[in-house]
Each structure stands twice: as structure tokens, then as C-alpha cells.
Structure 1
Amino acid sequence: MRPSTSRGVGRARGAASALLASLLALVLVTGPAAASPAVASPAVVPAATPAAGDGARAVVDVTDFGADPSGALDSTPAVAAALDHAKDLGGPTRVVFPTGTYQLYPDRAPVRELYVSNTVGADQRYKDKRIAILVEDMDDVVVDGEGSRLVMHGEQTIFASIRSRDVVFEDFTAEWVAPRTLDLTVVAAGTTNGQTYRDLRVPDGYVYAVDGTTVRWSGETSPYTGVPYWTDQGAFGYQQVVDLATGRSSRGSWDGASTNPFAGVSAITDLGDGRLRFVYAASAASAPVGRVFQMRRTHRDTPAGFVWESERTTVRDATFGHLHGFGVVAQLTEDLTIDRVRFRAAADSWRTSAASADLVQVSGGRGTVTITDSDFGFAHDDPINVHGTYVELVSVDGPRTATFAYRHGETAGFPQFYAGDELALVDKATMTDVQGGTATVVTVDGPTGTDTSHDLTRMTVTLDRDLPAGIAPGAVVAENVTYTPAVEIRGNHFESVPTRGILVTTRKPVLVEDNTFDQMGMASIYVSADARSWYESSVVRDLTIRGNTFTRAQSPVIWFDPTSGAATRP
């Protein structure tokens, strides 16, 4: 492939390079985690007459409602009050965070029962989502961080746009104090008394205690309840590794050293200053200095950002030091723009994981998805995934009525069709459209995305024409053709990911241009449609890939892989 001339070329390695430089210089960031801010209930102060902003746009200042730019108090209730006031104004608004540091805790954040694609499906343990910055049923609003730092606590969604139009989130940095993704960096390694050892650096913010040959971990303690936001032990349940010297990231070992730092451990000692010494049998392969063990749980309780049933949503000029749960998810939404957004852990944080799952996922979009001039690094899964969802035929209930069901455990609870949408039936064995199987949806009885009043996995759909004869339950899937977007991915940088760089499955035109891909563990650009595993649609018919640069690829850089419901592939 020819070298890229994109605007995204030449970016520094960012957090990993800075972390490695600190490591090699033996500059260890020490000291206890910062204490929690004082618990406060900021008074809701009525805003003054809206000031003139850009044009007729009213300005709502979150500090007028008690938000604290010094970072001493919890600003969450004040931010919610400011957004409620902006909503009441009923016109174009700019909600501003005067430059500063804002602490955002989940305890008093708005709560919504929401079901989100590729998260936890119908699992009722995670139905309630806490959202720090909630734009809901609003039009023409800009949330402007003015360069502020948002310090996130616990487990929550950073921002959401729900049933809203013309929404912009811009100019802020969001960082987590103690995300439930733990990175342990090898700062020293060798042998002592015939045994291999590694000294592992724990990022600040975590509470931990050695317990024999394991470690008990917890996140920070809620200042409201006095209880840790989460607890865990050992290797969490999932592990992968990244090498800071080379940038290689992998879900498996490439040099004989286990991805699990607890494998074969015979003793653990707390050395203080955030360092733990792990001692192993002499036969254990020693992970080198600069190796990072990245550990997490596999459930995805909430999206870090959520855009749902909205139109023309933009996220720009932002930095996400970590995305808790499942990245930024745009679900059944129209026209999404991601521009000049950086997904990287802070360089001085001893963290490398930018997310425990995908960074940006579009599940059922329409209009155009535009992702430009952004930096995607060190995610645990695919940086960008644009897809729809196949639902499987369960029963034919009448000449024009059928019942369909979600078939992946992490996807359920949200609507798949609206009245007026175009539905297409697809043969699972051949992955081709069923002849005569395209129709308009007249009515839908199924999940709403916000409650359990309907079955969370099944939906009954009535069409404007008869169903084709001979279609059989289990052999056919349906997709929403209306919610398949055009896609433009230009000028971005992708680095050090153990999976794919871009997944794309949509019937509309796709342009992947002038991007750089460095150290992708799987295909840099992966084109598929899946009616057997994740049930992510759809067929790809118009795809342009040009001007991209691929370096240090660990597999074919462009891969076409339709996954049918048949024993053999189509």
C-alpha cells in the first residue's frame, strides 16, 4: 500500500511512549491515591437571563448551579441541574464548563433503564445506567468543556444523547480514577535465590492487599456509601499483554511468558510505592521490563458514551483517557461525527488500556457515520465497528406477520424496527437476500430499549406484503435496511490493538482513506456479515479503500470473512 498523506500521519506514540520513557529512566510515580472529594449537595441556583452566545444561542454555565471547577466537590448534581435548565429554555443552548477540573461521581447521576447493543443484553443486574452528562429529548445543544478535565469515578456513562437532535460534545478530557481495567507494568525483572521475579507497578487510585499468592483489588470508596465501587481479586478473569518497547499487543503470548501474571506465582510481596514483587518457579518465562499485563472482567455493564435515537450528533476535540464498559455506542441513530478525538490513557498514569472493549461502535445507524483525524490506541477490542443486527426468524404467525429474536447474549432489549422501516430477509446459509423478502414494516410489538414491559429478546413484526413462501424458522434472519449508514473513515491513526482496526458491515457506500494502522493483531480492515455468532449485519456492496498505511501487521491487512449459519461458508 502506498504511504498515506493524511493529516493523521506522524502522531507520537502518546501514552505508551511516555510511560516507557519514564520506566527506562526509573522515574516511579509514587504516593497514595488522592482522597475522595468532600461529599456535597450543591445548591441549584436559578440561572440568570441567558446570555447571548453564538447567534441566538443561550449560554448555561454549570458553575451557576454549583459545579466546582476546583475539583474539590462532586459536580454531578449541578451538571444535571444545568442540563435540565437548558432543556427548559427550549431553544439553542450552549452548556459550558468553565475551564477547570470537575469531579463526577455516579451516586447522584441521572439513572435510566437502558438496553444497549453488545453490552449485557437482557441481564437485569445491569439494566440501570448512571449517566454523568445526560442530553435527553433536547434539540440544538452544545456541551462545551472549554478545555476542562472531567474526573470520572465508579462505573458510569460519561455522556449520552438520547432522542435528541443537533447535539455537540466538545473540548474536554475525561479520565477515570480507578477503572475496572487494571494495567500492571513490569518495572524490574530477574532472578533471586534461583527463582524468577517481576516487580509490577500498580497505577495510582487502586486499593489492594496481598493475600498469599493472590491480590485483593478494589476501586475507590464511594464518599456517599463508604463502600468500594467494585472489588476483585487475582487476574480478574481476562488478561492480555502489550509490550511498550515495540507496541505489540496480544491476547496470547508470543514469547512463552503467560498473559496471566498470577500463573505459576509462588509468593507476592508488597514493596510499597505501588510496586508488587511476584516470585515464580525457576522454570517460568520472565516477562521483560516494559511488558504490561492488562486485566479486566468480560461483562460490559454500561457504554462509556451513548447516542440513541438521535440525529446529527458530534463528538469533537476531546480526549478519553479510558472508556469504561463498552466504548462509545451509537444505536439506531442518524448522522454521527467523531472528529479530532483522542483515545489514549494519560501519559503519566501508568495505564495503557484506553478501553476494555471497542472504542466506537455504531449498531444500526442511518445517514452518514464520519470519523476523521482521530487517534485510536491500546483498546482491548476493535477501535471502530459499524454494523447492523440480524434477528432470527422464530415463527411465521400469519401471511404478513412473523416473530424474530436476538440470538447473541450481549444484544437484546432495544427495538430493531420502527414502523415505516425497510426490512430484508436473508438466507443464513448463503447470506443472500431472500427473493421477495423485502418489505415495509407496518407494526412492531417488541422491546422498547427502556423497560421490561415486553420480552427483551423477541419481536413480532407485521409487514405491508405477504411473506415469501417456504421460509423456515432458524434458516432466515432479518435486518433493518433503513438503519444502514454510509461510512467515511479518514485521516485516523490506529495503534497497538490485539484485534482488528476497523470492522464494517453496511449496505451503503464505505470509504476508508488516508489512515495509518500500526501493530494490529488481526486484520486492519475487516469486512464481514455474521449470521452465526455475533449476528452483525450486513452485506457490503460499495467499499473503497485507498491511501492507507499498514505497518508491522500481524495478519493480512484487509480481510473478507462472511460468517453464515451453514456448516460451510458461502
Structure 2
Amino acid sequence: MKCMTKLILYGLFLSTLCSQARIIDVASHGVVPGKDSTYALNNLIQSVQDEPDVTLSFPKGQYDFHSENALEMHRAVSNHDNGLKRMVFPLFNHKNITIDGGGSVFMMHGRVIPFTIESVDGITLKNFSIDWKQPFHAEMKVVERDLKKNSAVFEVDEQLYPHIFQHGQLLFDRMGQKDPIGMTIVFDPQTRAPIFDTDKYSLNSSRTKASKTGKNRIKLEGGFKKEPPPIGSVMISYGVHPTSRLCPAIHVTNSKNLQIENVTVYAAGGMGLIVERTENCTLNDMKVTSTKERVVSSRADATHFIGCKGLIKVEDCLFEHMLDDAINVHGAYVPVVEYLGNNEFLCNISHSQQWGLTFGEAGDRIVLTSRKTVLPFFETTITDVRKLNEHRFVMTVAEMPTQLPDVPLSVENLTWYPDFIFRNNIVRENRARSILVTTKGKVLIENNYLSSQMHGILIEGDNNSWYESGAVEDVTIRNNEFVNIGYDNHDRYPVLASPLLKSDQHLGEGRYHRNIHFINNTIKSFNGHMVKARSVDGLLVSGNKIEFSSTYPQSEGDPALSMEYCDHVTIENNTATGFKTELVITESADTTHVKTEQNNGFKNSK
């Protein structure tokens, strides 16, 4: 009887296991290499809409997806430009679905978003790469330049970057959209990174006369800020707002338990990955990088997370050659337009690339914040949110302060902040920063290689520009290698922690950030910079080594460590080697409770 019972239970276990894991070979549904598979794929996805625990399995190959047959709907995408979007993988309301590419290439043709994921509980993307037949930028190699005439001749592949000339202006044909040169940046094809001090080669295309001088040859006369780029360098043209961020590679919103494994993004008309209001995200062996034929990968950030919660874990990933940051984790400040009475606030999502954002829902804990000091003053709970349009909503709260201060206000969602682990990753050869983090969750950044054009790690928060919140409370940065941070030749640091304040804002009575620990890191630096902090309570800089690097021209004048309006600061056991003079540690008069000791190669200068 016991044996029979065991057999029955084992049979039930096998039956349950089989019912929970259906693997579908996409080839049996007409999704095959060598043709446009968009329509067949959309139909397959729709057919498993209500079926949990499904894996769509792709036999290895190149799968082509064209915009003509893609499902279209209006989509609001944070940090991108909203509008009608055509989607290759429209994944809505699934439960435990896996896309296994089997090592395949998903080649996009036209203005599409490869993956749109909304209200999905449990999704795994693995074993594939995403690319576009035609990228969303143009690469122009300098073959001649004339310093006196402020002009240059560029080699431009007419097939890969089709273009026309109109009234002396160069327009790139990007999938039916005529884009002017717009924003530019110059890369070094040898290092595959932005060239040192690239700003001096920036181009004002409105002051530039463009002409064709031969096959694959374009001449640009005038408009360079100081001089044309060096011969052999590559100038990247990536268009103008509001049409330069239309197509991220992967967009996730209002979902749970996202896993990305062994996925490579070679191009994107925006970010490689943008995630909104999602709980628990794991990235392992994800790459955002360029192909051998191109210098640049994604048009914007490699990855970006806004208003998420749970745990964001990023390990063993490679992010390089992007035209923006490697990762950004933050919440959102939403300005209050008017207090309507009866515990109701009329709120306005101010930044155009956050329109349509889901700020909060009933049950979320929020805080009222002064926009003058960017400091919170009263916590309460949302009881109702009524959306008016993409820009505005009415929010009802449970409790109110006795009196509202007579200053501009904003609201911040305290419920939707994640913990964040960024470990064993490589970030290099990109425009802008490596890591931006403003979350009240526990943050660990360790064992990474970071080498970006601007700041290494930016811990900011602003209530008057991008409206990215929140002040950090527990950040550990340890055992990382920072290499030549800040080669755009400006005031850049491996770590900058400071709220962004505009002219009509000022520091308040309390510090903004708390508990930032910078421990046992190695810095190879041409400018001698380590940490710059403003309005931080609880700053520890300990056991770090900074070594002189001769890769870029040496710059002097800025302090290695700078503290302004900080409290409870400890700087100890740090070592500087290879610099001509001792590196400087400065603190402002309003910085309190400072301890500095045993810092070899440094000197204090208040």
C-alpha cells in the first residue's frame, strides 16, 4: 500500500511538472529565419496569452522582424519620447513566460521596440542578441580637416547611413524620418571611447554648410566649437529631441520578477533596457556593446530603472560604447500644482520624458517635499489617484500636516524604492557616467571595473530638472577599479554625491544624503580626483589607493576629496602615489565632525 501511494504521488508530481513547463518550438508556428517573422510571432504570443509557464524556444539562427506587420499602440515610455510604438514581442499580462533565443540574433528592421513587457509576473529573457539593420545614429570618419576654414571632410557609408542634402543642410534618412545632424560626439576608433576633451569638437549644425564631395564623402564647413575633429576620429551624429529617443530595445513596466540572462544589445534607438514600476529585476551576463563594424551601441543608457522596488541585482555584465550612462536607479519627484482641499493635490509630471509615468497608487507611502530645499517634511499615504492625462493627476492622501508651508511643493513615493546590487561588471568607453543611483534602499557596488567619460558614480537627486529622486540612506562602494574617470576634461570624480540645486533652491537645515561608504577601491587617475560630497551625513572614505595615470593630460587644481555642508565624515588610511605633489583634502566651514588620519600622499587644506 505504501509503495502504491508513493507511485501515485510520483505520477502526480511528474504530471504537475509537465503541466507547468510547456516548451514551444517557434518554428512550428512559422517563426523561422530567412523571412519577416513579425506577424507569426505576434500571433503566437497572443495564442499563449492566458497560459502560464510557457517557454518560447528559438532554434539558433537570425530572425528578421520588420515594422510593417508589427502590432502598434500608443505607449508612454519613461525617459523616451511617447507616441505610437510598433512592437515585435508585445508581452502583456503573462505569468511565468520565458523567451529562449538559443543563441539567435533578433534583427530589427525599422522603427520598432523589440520587447514591450507590461503587467507580467515572472519573465525570463535569455540567450539572444538584439540588433538593427540600420542603427539610430550615424558614424562619420574624419579623412581631411582644415583648421583655418574650420572645416572637415568625412567618410560616411551611404548604405548604412543614407542621407540627403537640402539647402546646404545634411539630413540622415532614418527609417523614413529626415534627421538633421543634431547632437554630436567624437570617438577614437582605436580606444573605441569618446575622445579626450571632445566638447571642443562639438558641432552647431545650424551654422554648418554641408555638401557632397564624392562617393561616401561629405564636407562640413563651419560650426565646430573650437576646431574640426582629428583625422581618423569618428564623429557620431544622433539627431535632435524630440525624435532621438523613440525605440528602446527592452521596455518593462508594472511587472514582477524580471530576469535577463546572456542577452546582448548591439543597438537601440534609446536605452538598451528601461524598467518602470517593477518589482525584483535580475540581470546576469547582459551586454550592451557595439558590433565590430560600428563604434557606438545604444543611443542612450544601457539600463535604466525608475520607480521600482524589491531588489535590482546586476552581475557579470558588460556595458560599453553607449551614448549615455551604464545604469540609473531612481524614483521621481512630482511637483504639486495646487492643493485642492479635502486632502487632494493636483500634481504635474513636469519632465516631458516622464509624461505618462505611474507615480503612485492607493496604499503607497509618500512624502511631501519642499522644492526650495529638496528636503521632506511630512509623510502620508495615498488613498486614491485619478489620472487626468499624461501630464496631470489628482492624488488624495490619508493624513495632512496642520499647515502647509508657503513654498513650492513636490511629492515623492517612498514605497517604490529598491535595494540595489551592482557586482562584477565592466563599464567602459561610453559617454557620460557609469552609475547613477538615488534610492533609499540598501546599495552595494563592488568588484566592478568603471571607466567612463564623466563621473564614475553619481549620487544626485534633483527636484527641478529631470526630477529624479531620492536621497540615499545606505550605500557601500568597495573593491572597485576606477580607471581615468572624467576624460571629458571637466570637474569629474569617481564619486560625486550632491543634490542638484538650481539658482532658486538652497540647502536646508538637514543633510540630503546619508551613510555613503567608499572603501578599498583602486583609482587610476590623471586628475587626482577621488570623492566630492555635498550635504551628506555619514561619509566614510577608507583604505582607497589612487595612482597617477599618464593616459590623458594631467590636470591640477581641484581637490582630491572635497566636502561641503557634510557631517560625521571619516577619511582614513588612503594612499596616493605617483603624483607630483600631495593631493588636497578640503572641507567647508559648515562641514562638521570630521576625522582625517593616516592618509599617505594627501594634505588637509580647509
| Structure 2 CA distance for partners of 1:197 and 1:443, relative to 1, 3 Å | closer
Matched, 1:411 2:366: no
Alpha carbons 1:260, 1:293 under 8 Å: kept: no
Q: Residue 52 of structure 2 aligns to a residue in which SS?
A: coil
Task: Report the Cα offset of residue 563 of structure 1.
Answer: 2.0
Deviations 1:426-472, CA, capped at 9 Å, x for gaps = 222222220xx2112111112xxxxxxx3221221112223441234
Q: Residue 396 of structure 1 aligns to a residue in which SS?
A: strand
The amino acid that maps onto 2:435 is I
Q: Taking structure 1 as the reference length, what is the TM-score of the superposition?
A: 0.79
Matched, 1:117 2:78: yes
Structure 2 unaligned residues grouped into runs of 5+: 1-14, 487-491, 509-606
The amino acid that maps onto 1:345 is S
The amino acid that maps onto 1:111 is E
Alpha carbons 1:344, 1:377 under 8 Å: kept: yes
- Aligned match of 1:549: 481
Q: Which residue among 96, 112, 122 is the counterpart of 1:156?
A: 112
Alpha carbons 2:301, 2:324 under 8 Å: kept: yes
- Aligned match of 1:421: 364
For 1:93-492, list aligned pairs within 5 A.
93-120=54-81, 126-186=82-142, 188-189=143-144, 198-202=153-157, 204-209=159-164, 213-219=168-174, 228-233=175-180, 235=181, 237-249=182-194, 253=198, 256-259=200-203, 267-271=211-215, 275-278=216-219, 285=227, 287-297=229-239, 298-299=241-242, 300-347=245-292, 349=293, 351-434=294-377, 437-446=378-387, 454-472=388-406, 475-492=408-425
Alpha carbons 1:155, 1:229 under 8 Å: kept: no
Deviations 1:108-153, CA, capped at 9 Å, x for gaps = 2122322122223xxxxx4222111121100011001111111111
- Aligned match of 2:539: none
Q: How many residues align?
A: 483
Q: Residue 497 of structure 1 aligns to a residue in which SS?
A: coil
Q: Which residue among 492, 506, 519 is the counterpart of 1:568?
A: 506
Q: Residue 217 of structure 1 aligns to a residue in which SS?
A: strand
| Structure 2 CA distance for partners of 1:196 and 1:412, relative to 1, 3 Å | closer
Deviations 1:264-313, CA, capped at 9 Å, x for gaps = 65753233xxx3153758x9945334311111123322433111110001
Q: Following the alignment from structure 1 to structure 2, what is the Cα–Cα distance between the partners of residues 552 and 263?
A: 33
User: Which structure has the bigger radius of gyration?
Assistant: 2
Q: Which residue among 59, 68, 75 is the counterpart of 2:37?
A: 75
Q: Following the alignment from structure 2 to structure 1, what is the Cα–Cα distance between the partners of residues 164 and 343?
A: 61
Alpha carbons 2:184, 2:202 under 8 Å: kept: no
Structure 1 unaligned residues grouped into runs of 5+: 1-50, 121-125, 220-227, 447-453
Alpha carbons 2:131, 2:266 under 8 Å: kept: yes
The amino acid that maps onto 1:567 is Q
Q: Which residue among 50, 62, 81 is the counterpart of 2:26?
A: 62
Q: Following the alignment from structure 2 to structure 1, what is the Cα–Cα distance between the partners of residues 195 and 472?
A: 28
- Aligned match of 2:4: none
- Aligned match of 1:35: none
The amino acid that maps onto 2:462 is D
Q: Following the alignment from structure 1 to structure 2, what is the Cα–Cα distance between the partners of residues 127 and 290?
A: 38
Higher relative contact order (Cα pairs below 8 Å, separated by 6+ residues): 1
Task: Report the Cα offset of residue 485 of structure 1.
Answer: 0.5
Q: Residue 410 of structure 1 aligns to a residue in which SS?
A: helix
Alpha carbons 1:399, 1:467 under 8 Å: kept: no
| Structure 2 CA distance for partners of 1:315 and 1:391, relative to 1, 3 Å | same
- Aligned match of 1:33: none
Deviations 1:38-70, CA, capped at 9 Å, x for gaps = xxxxxxxxxxxxx9998831112222221122x
Task: Report the Cα offset of residue 172 of structure 1.
Answer: 0.6
- Aligned match of 1:515: 448
Q: Following the alignment from structure 1 to structure 2, what is the Cα–Cα distance between the partners of residues 165 and 194?
A: 59
- Aligned match of 1:44: none
- Percent of residue pairs bearing the same amino acid type: 24
The amino acid that maps onto 1:563 is L
Alpha carbons 2:277, 2:308 under 8 Å: kept: yes
- Aligned match of 2:3: none
| Structure 2 CA distance for partners of 1:539 and 1:468, relative to 1, 3 Å | farther
| Structure 2 CA distance for partners of 1:486 and 1:193, relative to 1, 3 Å | closer
Q: Following the alignment from structure 1 to structure 2, what is the Cα–Cα distance between the partners of residues 531 and 84?
A: 41
Alpha carbons 1:443, 1:463 under 8 Å: kept: yes
Task: Report the Cα offset of residue 214 of structure 1.
Answer: 4.2
| Structure 2 CA distance for partners of 1:470 and 1:262, relative to 1, 3 Å | closer
- Aligned match of 1:85: 47
| Structure 2 CA distance for partners of 1:546 and 1:269, relative to 1, 3 Å | same
Deviations 1:52-96, CA, capped at 9 Å, x for gaps = 998831112222221122x2x1110111112122224x2211011
Task: Report the Cα offset of residue 181 of structure 1.
Answer: 1.2
Alpha carbons 1:486, 1:506 under 8 Å: kept: yes
- Aligned match of 1:533: 465
Q: Following the alignment from structure 2 to structure 1, what is the Cα–Cα distance between the partners of residues 262 and 403?
A: 52
| Structure 2 CA distance for partners of 1:264 and 1:534, relative to 1, 3 Å | closer
Q: Residue 81 of structure 1 aligns to a residue in which SS?
A: helix
Q: Residue 63 of structure 1 aligns to a residue in which SS?
A: helix
| Structure 2 CA distance for partners of 1:96 and 1:569, relative to 1, 3 Å | same
Q: Following the alignment from structure 2 to structure 1, what is the Cα–Cα distance between the partners of residues 58 and 314?
A: 25
Q: Residue 27 of structure 2 aligns to a residue in which SS?
A: helix
Q: Taking structure 2 as the reference length, what is the TM-score of the superposition?
A: 0.74
Q: Following the alignment from structure 2 to structure 1, what is the Cα–Cα distance between the partners of residues 251 and 179?
A: 26
CA RMSD in angstroms comes to 2.8
Q: Following the alignment from structure 1 to structure 2, what is the Cα–Cα distance between the partners of residues 461 and 193?
A: 60
